């Protein structure tokens, strides 16, 4: 991993590492993220300008619907048979954007701003293309009923 950077889990510190496998920059049990190029350059630039990595959040813990057993999809989530993809809200952060917008545990998010959400990864990818303060429309299912809500993304540090 030549040319990579190492970030503390909160994004506050940077260490350059030439070879992460042979580096003592990370001790056993420490939490850190190694970011390869070109994202590493962007992370370093952001850290130099802002002092930390900023990224938006909805204030949820999502899980891909395709990781939920079919029986649970129908009985516990009460989803129509036509809903095969999405991100299940496993936890809503108290006081976060999702809670403010009325989202609840076990809602199944299927679209953000009209873009289909297939998995928890596609939800994160969409969110990370935005900034804190951006407004998004969330389309979701709750107890078999389709609904939507507007929410404002917040910085993950809140």
Which CATH architecture group holds 56-155? Roll (2.30)
pLDDT in tens, 84-140: 999 999 999 999 999 999 999 999 999 999 999 999 999 999 998 899 999 999 999
Each domain of the chain, given as residue ranges in start order, spans 4-50, 56-155
Q: State residue 148's pLDDT score.
A: 98
Total-model pTM: 0.70
Per the model's pLDDT, the better-predicted residue between 63 and 30 turns out to be: 63
CB 80 within 8 A of CB 90: no
Task: Give the model's pLDDT for residue 2.
Answer: 45
* The pairing of beta strand 108-112 with beta strand 115-116: antiparallel
């Amino acid at each position: 991993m030549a040319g990579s950077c190492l970030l503390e889990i909160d994004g506050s510190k940077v260490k350059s590492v030439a070879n992460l496998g042979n580096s003592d920059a990370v001790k056993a049990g420490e939490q850190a993220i190694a970011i390869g190029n070109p994202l590493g350059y962007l992370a370093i630039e952001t850290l130099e300008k802002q002092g930390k990595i900023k990224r938006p959040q909805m204030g949820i813990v999502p899980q891909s619907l395709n990781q939920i057993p079919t029986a649970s999809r129908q009985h516990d989530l009460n989803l129509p048979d036509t809903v095969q993809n999405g991100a299940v809200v496993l936890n809503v952060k108290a006081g976060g954007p999702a809670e403010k917008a009325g989202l609840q545990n076990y809602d199944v998010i299927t679209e953000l701003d009209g873009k289909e959400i297939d998995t928890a990864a596609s939800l994160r990818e969409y969110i990370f293309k935005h900034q804190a303060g951006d407004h998004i429309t969330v389309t979701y299912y709750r107890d078999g009923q389709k609904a939507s809500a507007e929410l404002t993304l917040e910085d993950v540090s809140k």
